Amino acid sequence: MPMLLNARIQANGFRYNTTVNNTSVNYDAKLKLFSVGALADFYPLAGKFRITAGAYYNGNRLTLTGVPTAASYTFNGTTYTAAQAGSVTGTMDFNKLAPYAGIGWGDAVSSGSPIGFNIDFGVLYQGKPKTTITATGATAGLAADVAAEKARLDSEVKKYKFYPVASVGISYHF
């Protein structure tokens, strides 16, 4: 009788550093993608096509460090010198527990061969991003302008609740 259910554990990781110039403040950005998931594959047609559900530990995180443009920052339309703003940092985090749903083709433990190939497409629900922006300066009005910048950022990133997933894999079983 063909196998109808598989269970698997999967880990993913990636790091990327860049400069973000399309905001009112330029940032050096460090993106860290890290997740570990427990997945169940259901084969409804007793072939290679599968439907997958599971959950991931979601360690995805974006860290930002402000870089002054011409020795200044602009928050909420107000320009502050680098000395007035102080150190500027920000973060974006997601829910640590993230459900996953997807479809795929392949079987990690296919019969007849110790090597298997698979492909998956799905979506990870990571919730509304949680952001922070801080500036250490004590200049009058800075805190209110940084709060307005954070509100603008929250408005832009709220669409990132879902994270699309595409993966290709090779497996070997003993």
pLDDT higher than 60, residue 1: no
pLDDT at 23 (0 to 100): 64
Nearest in space to 4 (alpha carbons), one of 41, 43, 39: 43
Taking only the tens place, the pLDDT of each residue in 14-48 is 999 999 876 667 889 999 999 999 999 999 987 88
Q: Going from the N-terminus, what domains does the chain have, and what CATH number goes with each?
A: 5-172 (2.40.160)
Taking only the tens place, the pLDDT of each residue in 49-92 is 999 999 999 999 999 998 887 788 888 889 999 899 998 999 99
Those residues with Cβ within 8 angstroms of residue 168's Cβ, 6 or more apart along the chain or in another chain: 117, 118, 119, 120
pLDDT at 71 (0 to 100): 81
**DSSP code string of 56-81:** EEE--EEEEEEE-BTTEEEETTEEEE
Q: How confident is the model at residue 108 (pLDDT cuts 50, 70, 90)?
A: low
Average pLDDT, the chain: 89
What mean pLDDT comes out for the span 117-124? Answer: 94
Two structure tokens written together for 94: 């997601």
Distances (CA, A) of 70 to 73, 89, 94, 143, 145: 8, 18, 33, 21, 19
pLDDT at 131 (0 to 100): 95
The length of the chain is 174
Could you give the CA distance from residue 165 to residue 121 in angstroms, rounded to a whole number? Answer: 6
The DSSP code for 110 is -
Q: How confident is the model at residue 6 (pLDDT cuts 50, 70, 90)?
A: confident
pLDDT at 59 (0 to 100): 95
Could you give the CA distance from residue 62 to residue 28 in angstroms, rounded to a whole number? Answer: 10
